[in-house]
A and B are shown apart, each in its own frame.
Chain A
Amino acid sequence: MLGFLIGEALRDLRRAGRVAVAAIVLTTLSLAALGGFWIVSSNVGQAAARWRDRVRIIVYLKREPPASDVDALVERVQAMPGVATVRYVSKAEALGTLKQVLGKDASVAEQLPTNPLPASIEVTLTADGATPDVARGLIAALSDLPEADEVAGGIDWIERLARGKRLLEIIGLSIGAVLALAAILTVTTATTLVLHLRRQELEIMRLVGASEVVVRLPLLLQGMLQGLVGAVMAIAVLVAVFTFGGPRLEPLVTQTLGLDRLTFLNPQTVAMLMLAGTMLGGFGGWLARGRTEP
């Protein structure tokens, strides 16, 4: 019976012709838009997470503490909420780092009469602590240290990046939703056309007492087939664009986002897109209504 119904669905799909093709193309566009924004958003998300791990808050000290006081100062900072690691950087180490950065111009630093660089404490945040609120509280607490001269750093810009990622998701979802709606309507139109073409068959099916499932299932199946084909095509388009465009974009992405390489959709997301396409088509097929019983 199921084989017969699938055969009927395929026959219907052929009959719907260009309208079915339009429905498939719209499903492809909607899912490709959704998948495309998903790829961008997940890569930006990865960059934001990576940068969040690298966030440092630096406490510049008024004067270099005696060596005997350093451990106590580090312990006090370590005890603050949201702190992952604490590292003391002496004036000498800071100057050494500056020389390394200057490279062949390091002699400039050697000509200084005294070391102008302050001692400092570098603080990294725990994963839970890398939020603007916790970071702001920590900066306030660090500023209150009697030894602190100035506190630098924060994660506001990372939050802006995360907000940008959320905005991208919303834009992607919105465009995807509009295109999905268009796809649903087109699948419904294709199915309604099939209903019109099949009106004699449906009338006979009703007359001989075919169950509602037998009458509706081929329509639902042909909608689902259109959605599935559209989803497979959308994934093929995304793979093609990613394969050809990805390597060209990677240098730019490395410079701006700090990512070594772009990542494609994971298998679960691909499966979800296929499922979404199938359900979208099925919904369009289900929406189409023929004659109702009295």
Chain B
Amino acid sequence: MIELHRVSKVFAVGPVKVPALSDVSFRVGKGEFVTLHGASGAGKTTLLRLLYRDELPTDGEIEVLGCNVPRLRVREAAALRRSISVVFQDARLLSRRTVYENVAFVLRVVGTPRREVTPRVFDALRAVGLSSRAKAYPAQLSQGEAQRAALARAIARKPLLLLADEPTGGLDASMASEVLDIIKDICAGGTTVVLATHHAALAGALRQRTLTLVGGRLVKDEG
């Protein structure tokens, strides 16, 4: 499903070279739930961005869903992303669209037939417990609801891989727990999940395989 071999990423800020990841290698199997743990600046977000080809590695090989990610052309990268969903700390909902429209939007732009859109949107909203909030605008949602709407948007496309970058950041314990339960359900449905978090307690509580990054290096792979 995912395989990284000696991956490094260095950002050039003018003449200054800033290493973000150094010599990272690991493998994630189909349907696995992996927590990526590390302090802020450890390289978690960079690693996730490499997986969906938002960045290219400076060195090393990355394979996702059978694709050699750095060597993909733009069109092929778009095709790969149709099998990947990404969730961020900020829900990134479109403020001028309702919850329903936010979820429907990602289906429409990848060419989902119109007749399939509504049932799939409501399936996804039901899965996250937001059916009754379909007509609400993002400004009318609580943070937890907004994050659940983002998850509905992510699962509506039935992805093979879900990348979640600090999805519980900014949520209180109860909301965070709700969101994590939903993500676990998604994984139980067969979707591979890579969840990045800087919360050691959260990573521990998930009781899943945890990859620990420190200063861009993978220092621990346990669970």
A interface vs B, CB < 8 Å? 1, 4, 200-201, 203-212, 214, 293-294
Contact = CB atoms under 8 A, between A and B. Distances in A.
A226 B222 CA distance: 58
A210 B94 contact: no
A293 B108 contact: no
Interface string B48-60: 0000111110000
B207 interface: no
3 nearest CB pairs, A to B: A209-B81, A209-B82, A210-B109
Contacts of B219: none
B111 A212 contact: no
A219 to B, nearest CB: 14
Given A201-B94, A214-B109, A208 B55 contact: no
Given A204-B106, A294-B55, A1 B81 contact: no
B162 to A, nearest CB: 12
Nearest to A214: B109
Contacts of B105: 201, 204
A210 B109 CA distance: 6
Nearest to A294: B56
Given A204-B105, A207-B52, A294-B54, A212 B75 contact: yes
Contacts of B176: none
A200 B80 CA distance: 20
Interface string B152-170: 0000010000000000000
B71 to A, nearest CB: 13
Interface string B66-103: 00000000110111111111100000101100000000
A201 to B, nearest CB: 6
Contact of B110 (A200, A203, A209, A294): A209
Contact residues on B (Cβ < 8 Å of other chain), bracket: 20 to 34
A204 B92 contact: yes
Given A293-B77, A294-B53, A294-B54, A204 B108 contact: no
Interface of B: 52-56, 74-75, 77-86, 92, 94-95, 105-106, 108-111, 157
A209 B74 contact: no
B193 to A, nearest CB: 16
Given A293-B74, A293-B77, A208 B56 contact: no
Contacts of B78: 206, 209-212
Contacts of A200: 92, 94-95
A293 B73 CA distance: 10
Given A201-B105, A207-B86, A294-B55, A212 B74 contact: yes
26 contacts: A1-B111, A201-B94, A201-B105, A204-B92, A204-B94, A204-B106, A204-B109, A206-B81, A207-B86, A208-B157, A209-B77, A209-B78, A209-B82, A209-B83, A209-B84, A210-B78, A210-B109, A212-B74, A212-B75, A212-B78, A214-B109, A214-B111, A293-B53, A293-B74, A293-B77, A294-B53
A207 B105 CA distance: 12
Contact of A208 (B54, B75, B82, B95): B82
Nearest to B86: A207
A294 B53 CA distance: 8
Given A208-B110, A212-B74, A293-B53, 5 more contacts: A206-B81, A208-B109, A209-B79, A209-B80, A211-B78
A216 to B, nearest CB: 12
Contacts of B80: 209
A210 B112 CA distance: 11
A200 to B, nearest CB: 6
Given A201-B94, A204-B105, A294-B56, A211 B75 contact: yes
Contacts of A293: 53, 74, 77
Contacts of A201: 94, 105
A205 B109 contact: yes
Contacts of B111: 1, 214
Nearest to B49: A294
A201 B102 CA distance: 10
Among A203, A210, A212, max chain B CB count under 10 A is at A210
Contacts of B110: 208-210, 214
A91 B54 CA distance: 96
Contacts of B94: 200-201, 204
B176 to A, nearest CB: 23
A108 B80 CA distance: 101
Nearest to B114: A4
A206 B95 CA distance: 18
A204 B79 CA distance: 14
A207 B108 contact: no
A214 B105 CA distance: 12
A146 to B, nearest CB: 83
